[in-house]
Amino acid sequence: MKQSPDLTKAQERMKPGVITSCGFLGPDKRNLIEILLEDEALVQRLNTTHKKIAERMKELRDKGLAGLGMFEKVEDHFEVKVDSMRGRLPSPFDDRTMIDKQNTTVRNLKLNKEVTFADFNIHMIEFHGFYQGKGSLFRIDPKDLVEILEVRKNEEKPLPDYYPDGK
């Protein structure tokens, strides 16, 4: 698929030194459209959506805010810590969004795994399906998010390719 001029501009803003010192693509040399399409296909295979992933990230972040920078026990088997920093970052997609610098660490005690994400990640996933380029310092694999955060799967079952009664 050909990349749009808007995505080309966004990809330019994702380079190191434009918005952040390390950028958002890492050593990934693919066009942004290829990165987005590959992650979209993975999220579909995981039977969920970017929106559900982002909603779960926000849900756990919001529950962890009570800990004031310390790990807070939430739900049955999660610990969540939210750290706020000064400043905001603009979205590289030029959607006129400024995102607070806030990091959330979620520990899944049942799996003995944890993941750290920023509010920036939540916005990029929810509105753009962007998890950052492969090898990027802050890339979060959708599979890890779905597993560790226990993101709900789609409830709709796909229709079969045929009708069992032959019609």
Q: What is the pLDDT along the chain (167 residues), one digit of tens a residue?
A: 799 999 999 999 999 999 999 999 999 999 999 999 999 999 999 999 999 999 999 999 999 999 889 999 999 999 999 999 899 999 999 889 999 999 999 999 999 999 999 999 999 999 999 999 999 999 999 999 999 999 998 876 554 444 444 44
| CB atoms inside a 10 Å sphere around CB 127 | 15
Please state the pTM of the whole predicted model. 0.89
Instruction: Determine the 3-state secondary structure of 82 from DSSP.
Output: strand
Give the pLDDT of residue 156: 61
Give the pLDDT of residue 160: 46
How far CA 136 is from CA of 6, 21, 139, in Å, comes to 21, 12, 5
What is the H or E stretch that residue 124 is in?
A: helix 119-128
- Residues 6, 9, 11, 15: what is their CA dihedral angle, to the nearest 10 degrees? -160
